Amino acid sequence: MDAEKLAGDSEKITTDSAMAASIETSPELVNLAAKLDEETAKKIAALVIEDFERDDRSRQDWLRMHAKWLKLYYQMDEPINPPWPGSSTEGIPMLTEACNQFQSRAYRAFFPSRFPITAIPVGKFEGATLQRADRVGKFMSWQLPVKDRQYKRDKAALLLGVAIHGSVFTKTYYDPVLGKNCVRNVRAQDLVVNYGEGPRRIDEIERKTELFFKSVNEPRTSAKPGYSTDPAEPYRSQARTRLHRRLRRRRVPPSN
């Protein structure tokens, strides 16, 4: 037991030190907030929150339309009371079938064969460069769809999301906790940009804010080597706060 515990602690220390070293040497992972004084950090934080709230207000009309799209897809017909309470009209799921058909056909076009990825050589199209491009394409066709078991599932969800939501984004980044490159979907409702001002192309918009929720343990793990400045705190929603008040009345300790 002691040997196993020491081996586990040694592996944990090695992982944290390797993560810290990669953060210090990689310019993309350097945490600039850790190098700012408290007053400057507060001013920047206030400006960031103000800009985010303005962007979020600008997209409220789109969020209301988005809620209607989901109701149409899931066929959430509102009940009409006559001739009896809870009755509703009959609907034909034409839009639902259209979204599902789009996903099915687009998925087959996205993965037409065992090697869906083709690499294009840069420079002269010579025998050696063409062979190297062929090897790279075959390797990535194994690395993404085969090695990453979630890749095809995410692409299937992405194609259905495009039909329902209108837009879905893909984010590729290095995860210091997992220690590898990750490719995942970002829903349109989770990417906050300004809907009323500035450029229309997403790559020309300077400020983009992603909304995501993580477990409390993951930010704590990334805070140790310096990827984030402070460990995360549990999210407190209004519903959770009301639950805590009811539990306190009953003298039941709430769980985090």
pLDDT of amino acid 182: 85
Average pLDDT (163-171) is: 90
Same domain, 9 and 124: yes
Please check whether residue 86 lies inside any domain of the structure: no
pLDDT of amino acid 240: 52
Please check whether residue 81 lies inside any domain of the structure: no
pLDDT of amino acid 159: 95
Same domain, 219 and 200: no
Cα gap 178→176, rounded to integer Å: 6
How many structural domains comprise the chain?
A: 2
Q: Please say if the pLDDT value at position 175 is more than 60.
A: yes
Cα gap 253→256, rounded to integer Å: 10
pLDDT of amino acid 206: 86
Same domain, 154 and 245: no
pLDDT of amino acid 26: 61
Q: Please say if the pLDDT value at position 251 is more than 60.
A: no
Return the minimum-mean-pLDDT range out of 8-12, 95-99, 126-130, 201-205.
8-12
Cα gap 17→124, rounded to integer Å: 42
pLDDT of amino acid 21: 55
Please check whether residue 85 lies inside any domain of the structure: no
CA 221 to chain centre: 19
Q: What percent of the chain has pLDDT over 90?
A: 26
Cα gap 213→93, rounded to integer Å: 33
State phi, psi for 174 to the nearest 5 degrees. -95, 125
Please check whether residue 83 lies inside any domain of the structure: no
Same domain, 37 and 123: yes
pLDDT category of residue 255 using cuts at 50, 70 and 90: very low
Q: Which domain holds residue 217?
A: 213-256
Looking at mean pLDDT, say which of 36-40, 229-233, 235-239 comes out highest.
36-40
Same domain, 63 and 164: yes
Residue 166 vs residues 46, 147, 160: alpha-carbon distances, Å: 32, 29, 10
* pLDDT tens digits along 123-155: 778 888 899 999 999 999 998 888 888 899 999
Residue 39, CB half-sphere, CA atoms under 13 Å: how many? 0
* pLDDT tens digits along 55-110: 999 999 999 998 888 888 888 877 776 677 777 777 778 889 999 999 999 999 99
Same domain, 118 and 158: yes
